[in-house]
Amino acid sequence: MNNKIVTLLTDFGTHDGYIGSLKGVIKSYYPAADIIDISHDIDPFDVRGAAFTLHTYYSYFPKDTIHFVVIDPGVGSVRRPLLLRTAQHYFVGPDNGVFQFIFSREAYTAYELDVKKISSGTPSATFHARDIFAPATGKLLQGNPCEKLGKRLDERTEVPRVFYSKEENGVLKLEAVNIDRFGNIVTGFSRRDMERMNKYAIDQVKVKDFSTNTLNSFYAEKSDGELMVLWNSMDFLEIAAVNANAAKILNFDKTKDSVQIKIR
Amino acid sequence: MNNKIVTLLTDFGTHDGYIGSLKGVIKSYYPAADIIDISHDIDPFDVRGAAFTLHTYYSYFPKDTIHFVVIDPGVGSVRRPLLLRTAQHYFVGPDNGVFQFIFSREAYTAYELDVKKISSGTPSATFHARDIFAPATGKLLQGNPCEKLGKRLDERTEVPRVFYSKEENGVLKLEAVNIDRFGNIVTGFSRRDMERMNKYAIDQVKVKDFSTNTLNSFYAEKSDGELMVLWNSMDFLEIAAVNANAAKILNFDKTKDSVQIKIR
Amino acid sequence: MNNKIVTLLTDFGTHDGYIGSLKGVIKSYYPAADIIDISHDIDPFDVRGAAFTLHTYYSYFPKDTIHFVVIDPGVGSVRRPLLLRTAQHYFVGPDNGVFQFIFSREAYTAYELDVKKISSGTPSATFHARDIFAPATGKLLQGNPCEKLGKRLDERTEVPRVFYSKEENGVLKLEAVNIDRFGNIVTGFSRRDMERMNKYAIDQVKVKDFSTNTLNSFYAEKSDGELMVLWNSMDFLEIAAVNANAAKILNFDKTKDSVQIKIR
């Protein structure tokens, strides 16, 4: 039995036994599963944050890695349980937006998981991670083809979601998709977004009381506590503070506040 | 050397190096140990919470999994270090109540670990997880039979602990055994408990200011923020709020407050 | 492909995808890497805390384990990326103090990692964990000798850092290197430090309002909530409270407060 990699991204936290039972189910199907914890500390029900986080790591894993992503506020309702196949990877999780970056960046085939093909019992109404997504992952690990786990969905035409809106005079208003552990404010605006608009320079960045017209390259360019703007390691625009917490300094609330930039 | 699974449940947290050293000890005995983190964030010294959490995941793991459970407020005192063998699994940890659900649900053989048989050095007085339980786990992984690690204990007659008390007029008062990450209030009262009393319906549920006479099946049946009562995915009675935190809404304190139900 | 162990110690937290991408990079170089999480919850930028934590677990792991330690406030600046080889282990991380206990306790050979030998692309300016340290770890796992990854550094003459200072009349002032999850105040003063001074007894310990002239051996010797002083499981002097939080009881701030002891 070969080692096969499964990554886990959930909002289940690490205080309870939830991730324990789903790891147990995966192991019971395929004991040599190599389970890699990414995070279980996604903010509860934060589908957008999970979608962004997935996007920052999935591509680094080797071929045939299964990415398990369950943030599932609608568990028990009608949202579809999904299985995606791309050239390199598999993805398992609910059809609620967690895969929006995958849809817009990868060619994929989508399947709606068929509960009857996956599990002999009746799944609980509140814990599909354990009763549907983990068994589906287990069956994939055992070598079952996607077709045996669900119905292939017709071509989907997703409208790629963007995280900015256009204002007047070349100003863009950017949403923050994450405040990371260090207090860096990560916007959903990428270098790629800018290039698609045939724009190549940022003239001004404004976040609440802070405003600058220069971008930096790395944190150590400024002094402790100073604010700065840079393209981060994933090529998203980020507001950071040197060895300090930018979100706290700016009193930034990601659900209400935004970042304005002027580009040309 | 075959992969063998060890699950870890502790209250050591993830801020310090404690779990590092015990993982190192297990690996030094058996490098192919497949160590699965369940949680290290059990509330400090919360033996009851750990016992409940263990109960939610242990049975999902494959045969011969070793479940390592160390919440050990009495470390260094006289409580016995235990090894349990059930038909499917091994359990290693202190004899302080963390295994109470295993005792009441499984047939088992119990052994008192013998420090002299396990480790050549003198164990530290304050870190038996590293110096007794991890080496015992390592020796099990190496294939040693239980008899070589300790003394078989005579039949134990555990009085199964229940998490409810009977009041007048068919009312039961239920303890909360966990407030989970989402704020769900999980009581220690299971469907099985109710069936044992030959009762099959719940007429009323009362928690602080909230009262209802209907049970729901899944979260999506109600609107955001509404409170509801349901049998959760482990078949324990739970008070939840749709996409919201029930414990906060009710200002529920698990050490003081309780849930009243009326059954027939 | 043999299993090979990599331990991870970082301050990246578990809320974001950072550890996801670096685990992915390691796996892409060597899919059978056995990645062991020690902690990602070191306080942001707390190099001293990381150095102490590393010291508490590294020696328990089997031969040839690679210890990956990235707490890197100076990322992007001139601090050197290091690779260390000791008789038993490898260490990968920045040259900013995280290895200070290794330097003072182990014989080692040090290499400055050469980015050009490690990675074909240009590393990001802000995430060397993913772009330099993880690929270096991957190449070690593949069996490359240290010499192929960087330049051997001349003998270093580190002045071992100590965590105490001498006051008058045989009094020592000790720094706290960690407040652990249970609120234990762990000083940087070890039994070995004392023996090096040819001192063998502690006459008095004073921490803020608390003072005692006896040391205890284990937590259960006192009653709940009582303060005590003991050599902990790593042989560092520690102030603890029985089943309670010593740091909170004493209102102890590790950045400002200290512990005074009188030895003979």
Spacing of C-alpha C254 from chain mean position: 16
Residue C24 sits at φ, ψ, to 5 deg, of -60, -45
Same domain, B142 and B218: no
A28 CA: distance to closest CA in chain C (Å): 20
CB–CB of B252/B177 below 8 Å? no
State the greatest distance between any 2 C-alpha atoms of chain C, in Å, as a whole number.
61
Tell me whether residue B159 is in a domain: no
Which of C8, C104, C166, B222 is closest to A126 using CA atoms? B222
Q: Please compute the mean of the pLDDT values over residues A76-80 and round it to a whole number.
A: 76
Q: What backbone phi and psi angles, to 5 degrees, belong to A219?
A: -60, -35
Cβ pair C229, B126 in contact under 8 A: no
Res B45: pLDDT: 87
A154 pLDDT band (50/70/90 cuts)? confident
Contact between C60 and B130 using a beta-carbon 8 Å cutoff: yes
Structure tokens at B165: 């008390």
Asked if C135 and C198 sit in the same domain, the reply is no
Range in A78-87, A211-220, B17-26 with the lowest mean pLDDT: A211-220
Q: Phi and psi at residue C16, in whole multiples of 5°? A: -110, -175
Residue of C21, C31, C76 lying closest to A3 (CB–CB): C31
Same-domain status, A24 and A148? yes
Last residue of a domain, one of B152, B183, B207: B152
**C74 within 8 A of C41, measured Cβ to Cβ:** no
At A173, list the tokens: 């208003």
Q: What is the pLDDT of residues B145-196, one digit of tens each?
A: 999 999 999 866 666 678 899 988 889 999 999 999 999 999 999 998 888 8
Helix (H) or strand (E) holding C103: helix C100-105
Instruction: State CA A133 to chain mean position distance.
Output: 17
pLDDT in tens, C207-231: 999 999 998 887 777 888 999 999 9
Neighbours of chain C (3+ CB pairs under 8 A): A, B
pLDDT at C41: 94
In the predicted structure, residue A63 carries a pLDDT above the cut 90: yes
B114 and B217 belong to one structural domain: no
Q: Does a structural domain hold residue C245? A: yes
> Is residue B30 domain-shared with residue B121, that is, in the same domain?
yes
User: Cβ of C15 and A41 within 8 Å?
Assistant: yes
Query: In total, how many domains does chain C have?
Result: 2
Q: Is residue C192 part of a domain?
A: yes
User: From residue B175, how far is each of A4, A146, B56, B182 by CA, in Å?
Assistant: 42, 44, 17, 18
* Least-confidence region, from A166-175, B61-70, C84-93: A166-175
- Percent composition of chain A: helix, strand, coil (DSSP 3-state, to 5): 25, 30, 45
Spatial distance between the Cα atoms of C128 and C137, rounded to a whole number of angstroms? 12
pLDDT at C192: 87
The answer on pLDDT for C20 being more than 70 is yes
Distances (CA, A) of C154 to C85, C116, C136: 14, 21, 20
Min Cα–Cα distance to chain B from A1, Å: 10
Q: Please report, as a single letter, which amino acid is at residue C74.
A: G
Confidence band of A168 (pLDDT split at 50, 70, 90): confident
Mean pLDDT score across all residues of chain C: 91
Instruction: Say yes or no to pLDDT of B101 above 80.
Output: yes
**Which residues lie below 8 Å from residue B243, measured CB to CB, with a gap of 6+?**
A45, A73, B219, B224, B225
Tokens of A5: 């990699």
Burial of C234 (0-12, 13-18, 19+ CB in 10 A): buried
Give domain status of residue A44, yes or no.
Answer: yes
Q: How would residue C197 be classed by pLDDT, with cut points 50, 70 and 90?
A: confident
CATH number at residue A227: 2.40.30.90
C196 shares a domain with C141: no
Q: Encode burial over A127-163: b for 16+ CB neighbours within 10 A, e otherwise.
A: bbbbbbbbbbbbbbbeeeebeebbeeeeeeeeeeebb
- This complex has an ipTM of 0.90
- The domain boundary, picked from C108, C127, C152, lies at C152
d(CA C20, CA A231): 19
Among C7, C233, C236, which would you mutate to test the B interface (most chain B Cβ atoms within 10 Å of its Cβ)?
C233
Domain for residue B157, yes or no? Answer: no
For C44, nearest residue in chain A (alpha carbons)? A182
Residue-wise pLDDT for A51-61, tens only, equals 999 999 999 99
B54 and B87 within one domain? yes
Is A158 within a domain?
no
Residue B201, Cβ density class (10 Å: 0-12 exposed, 13-18 middle, ≥19 buried): exposed
Q: From chain B, which residues contact A within 8 Å (Cβ)?
A: 3, 5, 7, 9, 14, 36-43, 52-62, 65, 178, 180-182, 217-221, 230, 232-233, 243
Q: Are strands C90-94 and C185-190 parallel, antiparallel or unpaired?
A: unpaired
Question: φ and ψ at A196, to 5 degrees?
Answer: -60, -25
Domain assignment present for residue C158? The answer is no
B69, B182, B222, B226: best to mutate for the A interface, most A CBs within 10 A: B182
Which two tokens mark A73? 């506020």
With CB atoms and an 8 Å threshold, state whether B24 touches C230. Answer: no
3-state secondary structure of C91: strand
Residue A262 pairs in a beta bridge with A171, A204
Span between the terminal Cα atoms of chain A, in Å: 55
| C145 has pLDDT over 90 | yes
Please report, for the domain that includes residue A63, its CATH number. 3.40.50.10790
C73, C76, C78, C83 alpha-carbon torsion, rounded to 10°: 80
What was the pLDDT predicted at A72? 87
C-alpha span between B44 and A231 (Å, rounded): 41
Chain B interface disruption, residue of A27, A41, A79, A126, most B CBs within 10 A:
A126
Residue A243 pLDDT level (bands cut at 50, 70, 90): confident
Do the Cβ atoms of A16 and B39 come within 8 Å? Answer: yes
**CA C254 – CA C228 distance, rounded (Å):** 18
> Are B8 and B120 within one domain?
yes
CB contact under 8 A, A62 and C126: no
Do B201 and B137 have their domain in common? no
In terms of residue numbers, what domain contains B112? 4-152
The chains in contact with chain A, meaning 3 or more Cβ pairs closer than 8 Å, are B, C
